[in-house]
Amino acid sequence: MKDLTRFLALFLTIVLISCGDEKKEQERITIGEEGSLEEVETTAETTTEDAQSGEAVIRQDGVVQVNLTGNDQMQYNLNEIKVKAGEKIRLTLTHVGQLPENAMGHNFVLLKQGTDVVDFAQKAATASGNEYIPEGTDAVIVHTEMIGGGEETTIEFTAPEAGTYEYICSFPGHYIQMRGNFIVE
């Protein structure tokens, strides 16, 4: 376990140093009445890897489509998603990088309110045989499968009751950068 911790610390340090000059796109979106997009905040800085065609969130036929991307710099394109309680959510996670799952896998894990993210992530880091989701955990509302560069996965779920929930990538060490708030109104 000590060797794993050292490896993860070294790996994370190398990645952070190598990505220090990279710029990242982050958006905050709000879905308003009758599906209108009320608010979008985007930093002016983007990278080619973060660029995406189309909108990040679309409401259509009673379903909220969320388009989330992850890249080889351990970044999601969204750090906040707002929906309404009880809405049907279709979340598509696309890994826009090139590295394989075993080196730079990404997933989307929506955690229950009050979950200690660091504690959960430490347990997840030891669950490689279960796509980095601890077996028997009750902290997860929903999650995607783990994917590698160029892959995509989609899940559908109903938005939980009103409140703020955290989402992360549970690949070892990724939760530090790859996390956001899933706000249910």
pLDDT at 38 over 50: no
- Could you read off the pLDDT of 108-127 as tens digits, one per residue? 999 999 999 999 999 999 99
Look at 38-42, 46-50, 93-97, 149-153 and tell me which has the smallest mean pLDDT.
46-50
Mean pLDDT for 41-50 is 31
Classified by CATH at the fold level, domain 2-184 comes out as Immunoglobulin-like (2.60.40)
Helices (H), the chain: 2-18, 101-104, 117-125
Q: How far apart are CA 95 and CA 106, in angstroms?
A: 7
d(CA 121, CA 140): 12
Domain boundaries, the chain: 2-184
The mean pLDDT value for 163-174 works out to 98
Q: Per-residue confidence at 27, pLDDT binned at 50, 70, 90?
A: very low
Q: What local confidence, expressed as pLDDT, does residue 11 receive?
A: 54
Mention every residue, 6+ apart, whose C-beta is less than 8 A from residue 116.
Answer: none
For range 88-109, the mean pLDDT: 97
Has this prediction a pTM greater than 0.75? no
Res 86 pLDDT > 80: yes
Strand ranges inside the chain, DSSP E: 27-31, 37-42, 57-60, 63-70, 78-83, 88-95, 109-111, 140-143, 152-158, 163-168, 179-184
